[in-house]
Structure 1
């Protein structure tokens, strides 16, 4: 089952977010309907490979996976647009029943369990792809962003009120700048959402800082790149849990992505043949 979970995540989470730009224009935003389409297509395949002992069990397990995807795109990575949830569950039920029926027909043919190598590869892929998924999910779940209404980080910036502000990297500027406000270091965004903007320039949210009162503040960003450019604007508004996840340490996000692979390795270890000791 752990191998199927890893495959399900790859098909219903990683693929929709990573391959959207391949099939759509770059200025288009990922919407929840197109993401859930991957889930509905994959659901009958999942139900068939489960090969449960009854049609009801296979259908129920598959619908649990569908519910997990629905929860992901509703609360963790709430993409733009509105899904027709009645249609999603209707088509999902039909796909689950059809796939479970096929799996029941061929239940005697066992699929080979993933081995240690598959588990290691899955874990490594999860570690590498998890930050990418968080970044793309944050971009597609952004409600509003500011391209830098308060000017570029070139010296003194006039800020209208106390509160939090964002530093945005322009174009190909480094995403990990050493920025300071009044000599104090700013809070870096661990996994910067990028690709904000339009035809003129793209922006990435790389840091956040807080000021106690309105007024003029001295800002500087040291990157070693003379062509690097940064602007100051309001903090982007991002929906869902992914809004917090972009601030988590990259190591933690990577470890979360590696869990399915580690589960495969652990399950393989538990089920390995044990040699009996001579009496």
Structure 2
């Protein structure tokens, strides 16, 4: 593409508010909506999530085209409309590609992914949304003020809080939906049990047992070690309609043998079982072990970008209003 095309795309590229809304609408929202509207034993499919992306594309393209129209001289309406549509479509392609990458490598949910259908529908809707956005933005004047900067601070703060909360929820639901098997393959309740191989094993909380127990593992030689907690415990595993399991911790054993696993929690009636580690596809299988602060910070990034943009806008307004220096 030519330099002029890249400049047009840069003018159409939306700000951090649109980025935050897009991230919320295309990753946590499909997972949370599915969780709220389906039975617990049903896992979200990748196709149901991807169609949320298709639904968000025309709105994104309209915003991008309107942004380009407001920032560009429109002396020739027909060429301007064409450039606006092209620029907004390319911007939409970037956002759609990034989200498809999330569902391909980070949260690979179960089911067949209609990649080609999503791309074709997204392209068609992006063109239509861009044309509408360009027409709506023609003749309008963009106004900036200190009040808009203050609104940016408030919007950014809200986005930081919501992003942090939804990031943890998205990681949990994404891990549950990306698990390769229902599990758990049980080796027995916490206590004295035989573990058949040198491997990593999982500790599951049964039912409503607390998901943050303090678990200790005693080996055949009497050595005592601590099980590592899962920062974002995925649940909804196996057990049928009466019982569900949540993966709360894991530990390694160097050799087969008889081991003792004890878990203490705030609930004296809590029950824990030992089984094989669930196989979770994609990068979300690693994200559940990240520190919670890192996951919260990851979710807060769009809100932090909104605040940074508000600071830059407020600083630029002060410099423009400052009187020139006289020698």
TM-score (norm 1): 0.96
2:177 equivalent among 135, 140, 144: 140
Find runs of 4+ consecutive structure 1 residues off by over 6 angstroms.
none
Q: Helix, strand or coil for the counterpart of 2:186? A: coil
Separation in 1 of the partners of 2:251 and 2:40? 30
State the 1:147 CA deviation.
2.5
2:92 equivalent among 41, 53, 62: 62
Instruction: Encode CA deviations 1:130-177: one digit per residue, 9 max, x unaligned.
Output: 111101100000002432521000x21100111100000000101010
Contact kept? 1:174, 1:223, Cα under 8 Å: yes
Instruction: Encode CA deviations 1:97-146: one digit per residue, 9 max, x unaligned.
Output: 01111111122445986511011100111112211110110000000243
State the 1:66 CA deviation.
0.8
Q: Does 1:187 align with 2:201?
A: no
Contact kept? 1:33, 1:81, Cα under 8 Å: yes
Separation in 2 of the partners of 1:24 and 1:191? 21
Separation in 2 of the partners of 1:130 and 1:85? 24
State the 1:216 CA deviation.
0.5
1:252 equivalent among 291, 294, 298: 294
Q: Which residue of 1 aligns with 2:211?
A: 175
In proportion to residue count, which structure has more helix? 2
In the TM superposition, 1:69-148 aligns within 5 A as 69-108=99-138, 109=140, 110=142, 115-148=152-185
In the TM superposition, 1:19-58 aligns within 5 A as 19-50=33-64, 51=66, 52-53=68-69, 54-58=84-88
Instruction: Encode CA deviations 1:213-248: one digit per residue, 9 max, x unaligned.
Output: 111101100113221000011000000000000000
Q: Helix, strand or coil for the counterpart of 1:27? A: coil
Separation in 2 of the partners of 1:22 and 1:190? 23
Q: Does 1:264 align with 2:310?
A: no
State the 1:84 CA deviation.
1.8
Q: Does 1:2 align with 2:16?
A: yes
Contact kept? 1:12, 1:69, Cα under 8 Å: yes
Comparing 104-113 and 115-124, the one that deviates more: 104-113
* Number of equivalenced pairs: 278
Contact kept? 1:148, 1:168, Cα under 8 Å: no
Contact kept? 2:153, 2:307, Cα under 8 Å: yes
User: Could you say if the C-alpha distance between residues 259 and 49 of structure 1 is closer, same or farther in structure 2, counting changes exceeding 3 Å?
Assistant: same
TM-score (norm 2): 0.82
1:212 equivalent among 245, 254, 269: 254
Q: Which residue of 2 aligns with 1:157?
A: 193
Q: Helix, strand or coil for the counterpart of 2:25? A: helix
User: Could you say if the C-alpha distance between residues 157 and 224 of structure 1 is closer, same or farther in structure 2, counting changes exceeding 3 Å?
Assistant: same
